Amino acid sequence: MRLGRKPVREGARSVRLFYASDIHGSDLLWRKFLGASKFYKADASVMGGDLLGKAIIPIERREDGTFRAKFLGDERIVREGDELDELESAIRFNGFYPWIASEREIAERGSDTEELFAEVARDDIRRWIELAEQRASTNGSSSLFVMAGNDDPWYVDEILAASNAVVFCDDRIVRVGPHEMISSSYANPTPWNSPRELDEEALYDRLEKLADQLEYPGSAIFNLHVPPYDSRLDTAPDLKPDLTPRYRGGQPVTKPVGSHAVRQLIEEYQPLLALHGHIHESKGETRIGRTLALNSGSEYNTGRLHGVVVTLGDDLVVGHQFVVG
């Protein structure tokens, strides 16, 4: 394990970065993320994972030329053009995927929701990458560092890694200015049995192998989707076996649900900065030794992109500010 700090260089330039996470299929939030570097005058933007939406909303193409969908408890019937565009936008705004098909196709394909979801989600992530490529070609966009999260299937990685518009950073060391950054999309076990979960021992082993390759851990950035255990960045509702919240005295019961492995890693390596998401309602900051650890929070279905802007010197955090846009 290397615990040395990077020697301070004379005239070292500060680096300003924007971090956000857990946009869960919100088209609006992805567009805001793409513009965040320019808006906040940042050198780089880091996306901490959980990119995909939660489900598909079928839109039935009917013989009379109208379209019908059940969305947010209501039946909606619209016509092609502005009405249909507005419905699709509303579905994407809430982190779902619109899928237009005939009644027969909806009935036939509805039995294999996993395959259908993968097909639609792949198309939408590719569309997001095309937006990033367009932004890069027209604006000379700042560096975009993007990884998946524990909720995201593995095909997301293939699409991210194939693009020149984003830096796919999961499970590797990349540089944000002069700072090394390690990233991991994995989480400790959750009640939802998501695609990227490891028990604490296996998670620590995976993270430690990556961190041990750092040249200067003391000036590094740890971009780890799951926050450290009992850090006030990981407070979530205590769920019953049926996944409904527990209540006591009329108030929801909460508990820490973050990772012991992540906390141990931060305590041992003491990076300059640790960036986390995963627990949407636990936005905040804490110190673990000399490390500043942040959770940007998420309200992905409100159209509000929660993030944090951080300015790093060579060997210190110059400042940080939580932002909502």
Q: Token pair of 322, please?
A: 């939580």
Topology, domain 15-55+113-324: Purple Acid Phosphatase; chain A, domain 2 (3.60.21)
- pLDDT per residue as tens digits for the range 155-184: 999 999 999 999 999 999 999 999 999 999
Rounded to two decimals, the pTM is 0.93
The domain locations on the chain are: 15-55+113-324, 56-109
- Residue ranges of the alpha helices (H) in the chain? 27-40, 82-93, 103-109, 113-139, 155-161, 200-211, 260-269
pLDDT at 10 over 50: no
If you compute the radius of gyration of the chain from its CA atoms, what whole number of angstroms results? 21
Give Cα separations from 23 to 30, 32, 163, 232 (angstroms).
7, 10, 20, 21
- What pLDDT shows up at residue 8? 44
- pLDDT per residue as tens digits for the range 30-56: 999 999 999 999 999 999 999 999 899
- Return d(Cα 21, Cα 35) in angstroms, integer: 15
SS3 content of the chain, % helix, strand, coil (to 5): 30, 30, 40
**DSSP secondary structure letters along 182-200:** EEE--BS--TT--SSB--H
The band of 62, judged by pLDDT with boundaries at 50, 70 and 90, is very high
- What pLDDT shows up at residue 140? 55
Are 113 and 56 within 8 A, CB to CB?
yes
- Return d(Cα 174, Cα 182) in angstroms, integer: 7
In degrees and rounded to multiples of 5, residue 30 shows phi and psi of -65, -45
- Return d(Cα 209, Cα 212) in angstroms, integer: 5
- What pLDDT shows up at residue 141? 52
Are 168 and 181 within 8 A, CB to CB?
no
pLDDT at 4 over 80: no
pLDDT at 110 over 60: yes
In the block, tokens 């419905």 appear at: 87
